[in-house]
Structure formats: structure tokens, C-alpha cells
Structure 1
Amino acid sequence: MSRGLLANKVILVTGASSGIGAAAAKVFSREGAVVVLTARREDRLVALGDELRDAGAEASCVVGDMSVAADAGRAVDLAVAEYGRLDGAFNNAGIGGDRTPLHLMADDVYDTIMDVNVRGIWNCLRHEIAAMLPRGGGAIVNNSSVAGLVAIPAAAPYVASKHAVIGLTRAAADEYAKQGIRVNAVAPGTTRSEITVDWFARNPGMEQLTNSLTPQGRAAEPQEIAEAAAWLLSDRCPFLTGTVLPVDGGFVNH
């Protein structure tokens, strides 16, 4: 038997090919989990799976877009087919977007952000919960954002989508608590994922401005968000459900 915070648990990670998702795959594996990884970018997904297996972890990969219900179903089905169960899931897949004033935002931008960030979580929850119910429980963590707790200027669709993720989290937590399924969310502050680093590079001065708004004076590393998700997925917090955990260096309290 392996040891660790997630020892012998089968955990699905969506959006696993980079950033917080890739960090989560590594942290969860280190903590003893069997990981099932899904993302849209096959080359990166396969490389990550190989890296984890070379390090002695057990990992499976399936290419998929969580905004497509069938793809979300295939990822959950793979976990159950290969390992007999699904103990937990980190619904991390999501997108951001460039800053644009609300009245100038194009319809297709709104539609894409809501489809990926909200419908994607919706699709995952439906399939994950269906797989967990026969086993009498499980744990799910959805990745929201501090933008799900406070307003962020010139990012209305993103803010709306991350508020919606929190709404889905609380609704599912309430509905399935008696069936032993815990549903929580993390709300990361600015995190140094590839997307964020690229955005900083294209917008000089924004990294310094963002850091100045965070009491700790820096952005998070992806692993720091993954560590919080690992704890929420573990058996260390059995009475915690419907909670949104800011991992933001104090941003929402500033």
C-alpha cells in the first residue's frame, strides 16, 4: 500500500497538460494517488503521463475537451474501467481571456468562456457524481478563482463564469452531502501558469501591479494551488463541503 495524503485514491485531473493541472498531477501522484489525466493537448498530456510513470506513479491519459459532455464521460469511464472506481476529481480545465470592457466584449468571447468554464464543470460533475454514487461517496474540487469572489475589471465573462463555478460547487455539495460526496472549490489568486506569464510579458507593468494588490507581494506557483486541492480531496477534512478556499496570498482580504 502506498502512503501519502491521497494514498491509493483514484483521482481524475482535468486540464492536466499544463499549469495548475500539471502541477496537480504531480502533487497527487507524490501523495500516493493513481491519476487519470485529461486535456485537449495530446502531446503534452502523453509527455506528462510518461514522466509520472517514469517516476514510479500510476497514471492514465485520455485526450478530451470537458466542454463536450461525451469527452467528460469518457474520462470518468476510463477511470472506472481501468481502476474500478473514481474516488476524487479536480475539475481544473478552464480558460481566461484578454481584458476588454464589458460593452466591447464580443458574443463569441462570452460564449467560449462560459462554455469551457461553466459547461465544462457541469459536464464533469454529472459524470463524476454518477460514478461516485454507487460507491457511497467521493470528493470533488472545482477550480474557480478570486474572480469568483470579487470583481476583476474588464473581465466580465470570466468573472461571471467563476462565480458560476462556485454556484455549481455549493449546489452539488448541498444536494449530495447525505450520499457521502463532498464538493469544494479552490479560488486561486494570480498564479504563474504559462498563460499568466505570457500575459505579463505582453503587458509590461502588469506583474508589478498585480503583485502590489496581493498582501504577500507575489503570485502563486501552480504547485501551491495543487497542494490546497490535494488537502480538500483527502480524508483529512471529512466535514468540509460547499467551501470555497481562497489560495491568493490574502488578495480577497486586501
Structure 2
Amino acid sequence: MTKSLRIATLALSIFAALPVTAIAQQVEDKATFDVVIRGISAATLAFSGVEENGNYAVSGVLKSAGLAAMFRKISYTATAKGAVSGSRYTPFSYVEKSDNGKKQSTSKMTYTRGVPSAVQYTPAREAREKEVSPATQGGTVDTLTALYAILRDVDAGQECRISLKMYDGRYVSSIATSKPQAKGKSVICSGQYRRIAGFKPDDMAERTTFPFSLTYQPAANGRMRVTEVAMESLYGKAAMKRR
């Protein structure tokens, strides 16, 4: 994944979680975001998810768009499944397929009691001297699950309450939202994405924290919905805007 698309993806997010009620209830969510960097369209991010009986299933697609697509077509498709209780997520599996314009690859992760138990790459990925062991990453979630948790519709008063640690098979990071501030009918949250482990020394020396903001607005379903994510990236101002 190119740095600009990785930043746009990780510093932003996707999807929802509701407490299980006595009556089985299915909750569906889907949206498309335009990713803009320094005023230039760079990518689109779309997701579709469903929750039922305390479980969730999410699919997402990130692909280059606008001028970026003219120079190089890049796409990432992913699916994640797991259990959800309130704002707590326990992944069961994660699959990602990528096409960077030069080669295609697939990565898969499965979990045992919330601990990544198997990580597979096709073709095999080059090993590094210091790899993060999956066995040490119990309680983490995959990137797509984190995006789903942050971009979900929520009940009024429940905005800005996400704090998750992520592991994608190589990188460990965290993402959190807090400090809700009302602005008219909107609610704005402060957020932070932070690199923790698995990154190259140059990446850690360059920068480890990336602040961002989320803007919620009332949706037709009576809940609050993320309509924009804004941040200062390594390449200037970046944003995700919901269509």
C-alpha cells in the first residue's frame, strides 16, 4: 500500500456495533467516502456491513481514483467477521486482496479466542529481522474492523467513544476518538492514530502520531453519522467525505 493511501485508510474508518437485544435484530450499514489529499481526489473507500445476534460481517473496498488512478490503479478489498458487544469487537477472520498495479497478493488472518493464531500471505512475504509475534496481539482487531467501529452510525450521545489497538499481521497501531464538541446539530470528535510496533525505524523516526477529526451529523434513521474525517497527513491536508 502506498504511504498516502495507507495514511488515508488508517487515519480514517468504517462501521457499527449495537448491543444485542432479547429479539434478534439485524443492523445494516453501507457508505462510500471520497478520499482527498491536498484538494486532489486520491481514492474512494466503500463499505458494507451487517450485524445480527452479536456477530458482525464487514466488506470494504479501497481503490485509487481521480488523478491518482490515471497514474496507477491500486485496489484493496477486504472482509472481516467476528463478534461484537457494544463497542467491543472480537474478530474471527480477516482476508485482504490487494492489487498495486504491478502485482496481486492475498493476506489472511484467523483468530483463536481473540488472539491472531494464523497469518498467511500469498505470495509469501519477505521476513524482517524483528517481526511482531501474532501470539502477543490478543485483544487487537484488524484494520477493517477498526474502520467499521469508527465510521459506524451511533445513537446521539455515543459519539467519540472508540479506543482500539490494531494488528494487520505486521504492524501494530492504535486508533481512538474522544472529546465530543457540539457545533449546531453536528458533533466533532478529536482522534489520534498512533504507530506502535512493526514499522521500519525510518517510519517511526519520521512520525508516530497522526491527529484527525470526525464530524457527525444527524442521519435520516435518527442516529448520528460520520460525514467527514479530516487530518494533516505527511503530504498535507487530507480528508474523507461521505457521499
Structure 1 length-normalised TM: 0.35
Structure with a larger share of its residues in helix: 1
Structure 2 length-normalised TM: 0.36
Structure with a larger share of its residues in strand: 2
